[in-house]
């Protein structure tokens, strides 16, 4: 296939605190060398498991504790997206992780929202923001996060998510927040079916009722769940390189995403953590072409599905579809 980097792409599953380039870290920590950056910010090709992978985000979070730093990191990500051909991205972060030096959660969201407006104006990349609660959080912290989504309605904030170590924490503390989100018509996605098997996806669907699942790849272990996802048009945000790094699969050739694609379940391809996994969306596409012989047809289909399930307005979606079709066909 010809150069994929210039083709327009949609990315729905992308963590801000896991996607800091060396250039922006150098601005925030001038003393850091590239070797030190790779040691602290970039994960190894193989983590022990998801829990080990999540510890790699700590370095990014530590430098993202001021409004100025949040602005720089957000603008840096927009530059990465532009270089990668991404024309629409949903960028997620957990506001409560950025309050260690005195910022309020409201100030965190405001800073990233303002920087998002600036990034859109600078690069032309359209974007929405998804606020994350974490599996380890209390019910109060999850409610605080979903209230922030509501408070910032009408800005670039478009949805609510739960991330973190799904194997280590039960879901009970977060049911109320997702019920609240539904009552306020807040679009929801939820990480599941990554560290844990199909049961975690069933539980997430039952108690949180999201329209999308972050990862969800282990749904393939349960044919009944696959049928349910297809019938309910639940979208899976699949992150192939990340799934190999977190040891769900030994190598990309072992990934079961081709089965998910062939089943007719709605899915998209995403990077998850551009820095920790050290990958671009263009590279993800190239890997799928090399290993699974995916062509433009499959990649375009995943992008069109991403648009259909994006937390964007119908007007934005219509424009994105036109831009995609004009370039890919």
Q: Is 61 exposed, middle or buried (0-12, 13-18, 19+ CB in 10 A)?
A: middle
The Cα 92–Cα 155 span in angstroms is 14
DSSP symbols for 72-140: HHHHHHHHHHHHTTEEEEEEEE-GGGG-TTS--HHHHHHHHHHHHHHHHHHH--EEEEEEEEETTS-HH
Q: Report the distance separating Cα 16 and Cα 3, nearest Å.
A: 26
* Active-site choice (194, 237, 298, 305): 194
Please indicate whether residue 194 is annotated as part of the active site: yes
Tokens of 277: 């996994």
Residue 11's closest CA among 212, 230, 325, 237? 237
Residue 161 parent element (H or E): strand 157-163
Q: Are 30 and 70 in contact (CB under 8 A)?
A: no
CA distance 105 to 110: 9
Task: Just list the catalytic residues.
Answer: 194
């Amino acid at each position: 296939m010809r150069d994929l980097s210039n083709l327009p792409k949609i990315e729905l599953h992308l963590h801000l605190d896991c996607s800091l380039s060396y250039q922006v870290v150098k601005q925030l920590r001038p003393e850091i060398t590239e070797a030190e950056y790779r040691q602290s910010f970039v994960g190894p090709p193989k983590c022990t498991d998801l829990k080990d992978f999540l510890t790699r985000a700590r370095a990014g979070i530590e430098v993202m504790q001021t409004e100025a730093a949040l602005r720089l990191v957000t603008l840096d990500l927009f530059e990465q997206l532009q270089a990668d051909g991404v024309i629409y991205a949903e960028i997620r972060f957990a506001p409560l992780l950025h309050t260690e030096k005195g910022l309020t959660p409201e100030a965190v969201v405001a800073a990233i929202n303002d920087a998002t407006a600036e990034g859109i104006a600078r690069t032309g990349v359209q974007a929405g923001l998804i606020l994350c609660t974490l599996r380890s959080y209390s019910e109060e912290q999850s409610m605080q996060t979903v209230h922030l989504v509501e408070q910032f309605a009408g800005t670039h904030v478009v949805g609510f998510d739960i991330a973190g170590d799904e194997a280590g924490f039960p879901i009970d503390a977060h049911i109320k927040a997702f019920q609240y989100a539904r009552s306020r018509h807040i679009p929801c996605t939820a990480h599941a079916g990554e560290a844990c098997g199909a049961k975690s996806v069933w539980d997430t669907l039952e108690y949180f009722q999201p329209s999308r699942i972050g990862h969800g790849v282990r749904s393939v272990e349960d044919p009944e769940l696959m049928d349910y996802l297809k019938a309910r048009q639940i979208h899976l945000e699949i992150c192939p390189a990340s799934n190999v790094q977190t040891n769900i699969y030994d190598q990309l050739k072992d990934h079961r995403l081709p089965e998910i694609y062939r089943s007719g379940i709605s899915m998209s391809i995403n990077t998850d953590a551009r820095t920790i996994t050290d990958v671009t969306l263009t590279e993800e596409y190239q890997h799928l072409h090399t290993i699974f012989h995916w062509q433009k047809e499959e990649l375009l289909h995943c992008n069109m599905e991403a648009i259909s399930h994006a937390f964007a307005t119908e007007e934005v979606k219509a424009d994105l579809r036109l831009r995609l079709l004009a370039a890919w066909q």
